[in-house]
Structures are given as structure tokens and as C-alpha cells.
Structure 1
Amino acid sequence: MSQPESDVLDVAAIREDFPVLDREVGDEPLVYLDNGATSQTPKQVVDTIVDYYYNYNANVHRGIHQLSQEASIAYEEAHDTVAEFIGADGREEVVFTKNTTEAENLVAYAWGLNELGPGDEIVLTEMEHHASLVTWQQIGKKTGADVKYIPITDQGRLDVDAARELITDDTEMVSVVHVSNTLGTVNPVAEITDIAHEHDALSFVDGAQSVPTRPVDVKEIDCDFLAFSGHKMCGPTGSGALYGKEEVLEEMEPYLYGGDMITKVTYEDSTWNELPWKFEAGTPSISEGIALAAAVDYLEDIGMDRVRRHEEAMAEYAYDRLSEFDDIEIYGPPGDDRSGLVAFNLESVHAHDLASIVNDSGVAIRAGDHCTQPLHDKLGVAASARASFYIYNTREEIDVLIEAMDDARQLFA
């Protein structure tokens, strides 16, 4: 039995940091259960953005004047903060991106186009987000590399035995989602990385749903790359990061060319800047990067172990409540063995209709294929509803969702 949320987090105090949670939808209090798509942003992070624009708004690495120096220091120190958060050796291993998708594409184009060819293999999983699946699928088409998929079991877990068969000496890249944004499955990414390295393949971990919700240490996983987005972890949109082992990033060619990523330019040739700036061409998202570090500070003040325990408690409670009904199908492993989200369908009600109806009760959930169309095809459904939880959610809010679903039953009876 999970602990009550009061034993894990002071949810009431945390909610005070998120003014949006006080608003109403129609005449109903907002119940925000779409955190897997985008979390809300606390005042402390918003204040960091405001402070930048009010007090030291300037470009980085380009000016000798005071404001530019202050902005540059804050932006560089933000890399240090993020690096420490995920266990990287330093800022050299952390490239700021707009989101996980950009990080996936950066590696696919900067590394994949140069390293892959006919006869090579890329191994993914059947539960990959489109950010990974589509990116590597298209790189496979461009390079002639074969793309293979590790299957899932009937309970929605990764088939590790099949992974050992699929990953061979021809495999060059294994890209695995850490936490499925549809099934809630927490994948054994360290074990998959070990298998990849046994065959001299690289490992890419999609941490979009894991870095915001649980402790993640790239050294413990030993992955070569890891990517995540700021907007799912109390940070601003347009922020995210790619972790890469320094020796791997050093060997890679830049993905984008232009200002700041160079050391010397002549009419004949150019040389590249040191890491991580080699991969951050042009004016970066300065305020967003600084605010991402503020979001990291906010979460670390709470404690990532406590964040994980709370979201798992929410997911277990939601799974148990939804399991009370015979007309609800839940996808993924049991509620005590998943991350903080639950995807499901209510019999005879399309997920989009369900989301619209519960919205009338102030409840925000996700509906659709969650950027996992092939996985939904495998599950035999066109779409699903998804409730996803974070540090400010309560059991009472899940009860509101359950009650709101009765309106859909009555409407479609």
C-alpha cells in the first residue's frame, strides 16, 4: 500500500507555487492531469525568466559589456546545474536543446548520417515515442541501415530476452525510451545499455518521462546519450538537454552551423568551438536555459526520490480506482509497477469524447495516440485517454476524474 501523499510531499504547500491551479474551467476548479504532455510552471521558475528580461537581458558569448557577461555566466552555470542533476561529468557533456525531439535529431543527423550505412542496424522498442521512432526510421531510410524493434509483452513490459536476440554485432545504435508515455512502463535501460555495449553499439535513452519524475544518473545507466525536455519538469517550453559522453560528442560533427559554434572561420574552412557550444549554433534560448536550471533547483529542493514516490502513489491509486469498473480497459503493467501515468479507454466512448466530457468538470486529460501510433496499432485501439500526475496532484483530483466519467457513461448509454 502506497503512503498517503502527505507522508511523501507537502502537496498543499507545493500547490501554492502554481497559481494556475487556482483557476476554474467553466464553473469548476481545474484538475490538471496532463503532466505527461506538459507540467505546470512554479512561480520560482517564472520569476527567473522575469529577472533575466528585467535585469540582464543580453546575448551570451558575444559581448564584453556587463549585461552580456552576467547573461553568459548564468547560462553557462545553468549547464553545470543540469549536468550535476543527471550525474554528468560537467557542462561539456550537456547540450541545451529546445526539447527531446531536437536532441534525438541532433544525434541522428550529426552521428547517424556519418556513421550508419547498409548492413548496419538501429534497434528501437515497440513503445518508442515518435520523436525517437520517426527520427531513426528516417535516418535508416537515408543511410540504408535496418531498423528493428524490441517487442513488448502482453503486460506492456519490454521483452529483454528478445532484445538480447535482436542486438547483434551489426547493431550500431540502440535507442530506448526510459519510461513509456503511453504504458507507464519503466524500462531496464541500464540492462539494455549493457547489452548494446557488449556488441560495441551506442545507447540512447529517451528520458522525457523519467528525468522529470525520478532520480536519473547517466553514470549508473552508462548510456552514451540521454535526452529530456524542460517543459515536463516545471521548466519553460523551448528548453531541454542532450547528454552525451564527452568522448562521443568530441568525435561527432556539428548538426547546425553558424555563430558561436566556431573557433575560427576563413573563406576556405572553419574549425569548431569546444563542447558544448560546438552544438549550440546561433543565439540560444538563453532565458529558457537559465530557467531550466531554476526548475532543476526547484525539484532538487523537493527531492527526486520524493517526487518519484508521490507520482507512483498517484498512479497506483488511479490504477486501482479505474480497475473497479468492468467497462474500463487499462494499458500497461499494474499500478504498483509503473510511473505516474495511466492510459485507458472507457467502453463505447472514444477517448476524444471522454476528454471533452470530463473537461466540463474541469478535468484536463490527454486523448489520442500520444505520439505512439504504432504502439496503439499493436494494442488494437485508435486512441486512448491518459491521466498523468505530478508533484501537485492529489487523490481527491483522481476521484473527480472517476466521477466525471459517469457523465460519459450516461451520455453514451
Structure 2
Amino acid sequence: MASNEWEGDFDPMADPEEQKHLLSVLDSFRSYRRLGHWNAAHTRRQAFYSLPSAHWTLLSQPPFSILDTFNKIDDLVDSNASLAEAIFVTGFQAFIAPGLDSEWVTQIVPDHATRDVFDVYSTVMDHLNVTSTQNDLEKARSCVNQFYREWSAEGAVEREKCFTPIISQLQSEFDSQKSNDPSLQKSHIKVLVPGAGLGRLVFDICRAGFAVEGNEISYHELMASSLVLNHIKKPGQFTIAPFALSSSNHLSRADQFRTYAIPDVHPGTELSNTNDPIPPFERMSMASGDFCVLYTQPSAQSTFDAVATVFFIDTAPNLIRYIEAVQNCLKPGGLWINLGPLLWHHASRPVPSAEKEHGADSKMKDASEGQHVDTGIADPGSVELTDDEVVALVKHFGFAVERHEPGSVCTGYITNTGSMLQSTYRATYWVARKTY
């Protein structure tokens, strides 16, 4: 195994609402194949055959061969679905399987389904009457596409722009410290990566020799990162077509149908080939849960030498909560390295009504009895800041900004380089040191 599954007191099955959300996420991966065929090919076939017969007959013939296009999309949906279903199996085994009654499972699973673990787990899901939310279905699709950015050879272009500056800064910090302490080893430098996503930056930092902990709140990302870090058997085990399900802005069908092998490396093999005094498997971990809550705890105080945030801080409804968490978990003199845009994810989110606030959060009863309940990122309210305001706020909370290079990193995010539509972020990059 390339890392521990997940660390901490994380038990989503203990809370009914959390359990419902978890099952929705699992079902979103399980449903990828069925919904992919429906949305990407079936509905297009229906629309195609609604054209005047002379027109669809013409377009069915070479050089257009639109019916062949629909068949190819179906094939690529199946390819993507193989990855989605592997993520489903990984998540089900981690969260659901340990609590199942084996006798009940034997009773509900027909003999023909017992030969395939996906069929077994899928049958259990059917009996749990799970229905995915539209939001979770969209996240599952996005998560599959994200493998292109983090775990394909072609995604190295974006990783070079976004991850390399982080690792270079960590290397510079290590070199500086080692000049004062020749006995210092890279493995003594402990790095936190909030919003770890599919785990590639965590893996790359570990491969560079540092100790690293990833943190992630999204079940989609946790399950997917667990698959690739812990359960992949070989490089190129899956093939994905991240751009096949969208039919807009393609120069050719070849561009639309381009496939990518993932992962580009086998994490376990890569980390086994190092000669570090502390094995990589002991230097890399993942912690699941709310960044605001986990890293403001007294137990997390002054734990890390560096915090690396990449395309992360704009996920904060209230950035002060993130800054307080970084300030708490960094050692005095520790570095906060940040790279990314400010696409505020929670911009102008609605304020819950008094009735909803009272009814939806029964845990607030604890607060009325004198026990504070930290709801972390779910706290009400949101605010969007500019880059210079973000940096000013970081300084206000006891950081000295050593580098600030706004707009210095031009990068896409899961960009189809052959598309007629190109989106580019002019991301900011800054390095701040905790002064006390």
C-alpha cells in the first residue's frame, strides 16, 4: 500500500445524514455507466433521428458517420465507467462492507452475481434504496475526468505549472535549514496538503523525500485517491476519455475520442524504489474531514513545517477560518505556500432561514447547553476577496509574506488542448512564513 487509507476519528456511518450522503456518492460512481449511456449517446440518438429523414440519412454516411460516432461514445463511456466502478468498489469496501451482515448479503445476492464483487455490492445498494443527488452525479463525472490532470502522462503539463513550484520551494526551504543543521533529513520536514484531491501532489511531495499528510473532505476525492494510491496494480491499468462526453468545440472526432492511460506511474512501485531512511509508506498519510475543524484542534497545534495549498483557498466560504487553521497547525517559522486562482466556490450562497437553521442542525442544542459545536466549512456566511485583500489578511494573522507573484502562473485545469475553447487561469503564487 502506498499510504494509509484514512486517518483520524472519521466515522460517517455514525451519523444518519452523513451516511445518506456517503451512499449517494457511492451510487454516483455506480451509476456512471448507465447515466453515461443515457445522457451521452441515447439522448443524442433520439435528437438525431428527430431530424428530417433525408438529413439524418445523409449524416449517417461517410464522411460523417454520426451513428458510428454514437457507438464510439458508448464504448468510451464503458471505458470511463470501469474506473468509476473501481472507485465505487474501493469506497464500498472501506465504508459499507465492514458493517454488513454476511447472512443477509447471502440471502439477497443471487448466485449469478456472486462472481463479481461489483455486482455483489451493487445488489446491496439496490436493497438500500439509494438515490444519488444530481450534484453527486456531476461530481462523479468530474472526478473521473480529474484523473487526466493528476494521473496521466499528458496531465504533466498542468502539474508542472502547479505542483513543481511547491516542491521547488520546499526544496529551497530544506536546503536553507540544512545549511544550519547538517544532520537534517528531508523526512524531518512535515508538509500538510489541504484539499488533496486525487492525491498526486501528496504523492509527488512524498516521492521528493518529505513527510506529507493530505487532507480531503470530499468522499468522491477520498475514494478515488484511495484507489490510485492503495489499490492500483500497474501503470495504465485504466483508460479514460475525459473529453468524449462533450460534443462541443472539437476540431475532429479524433480530438473528441482521444484516450489517456492512467495512472502514468504505479505509486507503490515508485515509492518502493527510494532509499530514504524512513520508508515512504511511513511518510505519507491521508486525513479525512473538514480542514477548518481538524487543524484548529489543540492536538494539531504547531505540527507542520509547511502547508501547501494548490487551487484550494477559494473553496473557503470564510477565508479567515482557513487562515486560522493554517496558523494553528504550522510551527513558528513554518511556511505557507499557495498557488491558485480565486474562483470563490461559495459566492453568495443563500443564508439559511431561522426555521432551517433551527431544524436542520440539531447539534446546536449542544451549544445552548454550553458545548460549542464547530461546523467548519458549513458555518453560515461567505465573502469573496481580491488577491491583494487575501495577502493583507494573511499578514494580519501573523505571517510575513516573502514572495507574492500575482498572475505569475498561467495554467488550465483539465484542459483539452485540442479544443476550440481554451480557459486559462492567471493564478497567484505566494509564500508566507509564520512569525510566531
Question: When the two structures are superposed, what TM-score results if normalisation uses the length of structure 2?
Answer: 0.23
Q: Which structure would you say has the larger RCO, counting Cα contacts within 8 Å and 6 or more residues apart?
A: 1
**Structure 1 or 2: more helix by fraction:** 2
Question: When the two structures are superposed, what TM-score results if normalisation uses the length of structure 1?
Answer: 0.24
Find the structure with the greater CA-based Rg.
Answer: 2
